[in-house]
Amino acid sequence: MSLERALEDLSAGKFVLLYDSEGRENEIDMIIAAEFVGPSEIATMRREAGGLICVALHPTISKNFGLPYLAEVYNVASSKFDILTAVQPNDIPYDERSAFSLAVNHRRTFTGIIDVDRALTIQELGRVGRQAFNGTALDEFGKNFRSPGHVPLLRAADELLNERRGHTELSVVLAELAGVTPVVAVCEMLDTRTNRALSKEAAKEYAKGRGLILLDGLDVVAGFQRKEKNETSRDS
């Protein structure tokens, strides 16, 4: 089963290719659990995926870090800066809102953009994120990261796939199902030939050539719903 294979690969520190749906971005992201990210994984994502390298965070972790949505920051600051009202993301064609939060660098980085720097930032997000499951971690977050930076954070919806079914939510749910910390590096796969998103057919060929799994988001939704149903049955 493709979901089982994806869970095994993600827990083993491998990349998984994840498709959302035709009704959303209709894109494939290359994803990997943050705790396994090193400089070579950053290089692979920027060379072979080519999109924006971000980190998706479980809502519990985001809350315990005190992370806002970036749109919320804009709303608060718009009373002073009119431009922030003008650029509100109120016309996203595939969604009601954006998952973007702050962008950070680890405090031990130099510029923050080189492979070594981004790997450190992402790996440390995984480490500190693991701690944040157990309680408020604002102080720990501030000790380790500064903003603005070169690693955009994505805050998953509070109700996860019951509320939103973007790559952010799909990725952190997949990580939870795999038993790894739900802090996940994600990067859109682009096509240098068409200058558009990589097609599913091209992604299948890429996955086949590298021994990777291409997973449909609907499989993640099904796994999530089974998990919720089992938890409800145990509690009743």
Instruction: Find all residues with CB under 8 Å of 104, minimum gap 6, and list them.
Output: 121, 125, 145, 146, 147, 148, 149, 151, 153
The catalytic residue among 9, 41, 64, 105 is 105
The catalytic residue among 176, 188, 216, 219 is 188
The catalytic residue among 27, 54, 124, 187 is 54
Whether 150 is catalytic is: yes
The catalytic residue among 9, 20, 27, 29 is 29
Buried b (16+ CB within 10 A) or exposed e, 167-206: bbbbbbbbbbbbebbbbbbbbbbbeeeeeebbeeeebeeb
Whether 188 is catalytic is: yes
Whether 94 is catalytic is: yes
SS3 content of the chain, % helix, strand, coil (to 5): 50, 20, 30
Whether 75 is catalytic is: no
Whether 205 is catalytic is: no
Whether 162 is catalytic is: no
Active site residues: 29, 54, 94, 105, 150, 188
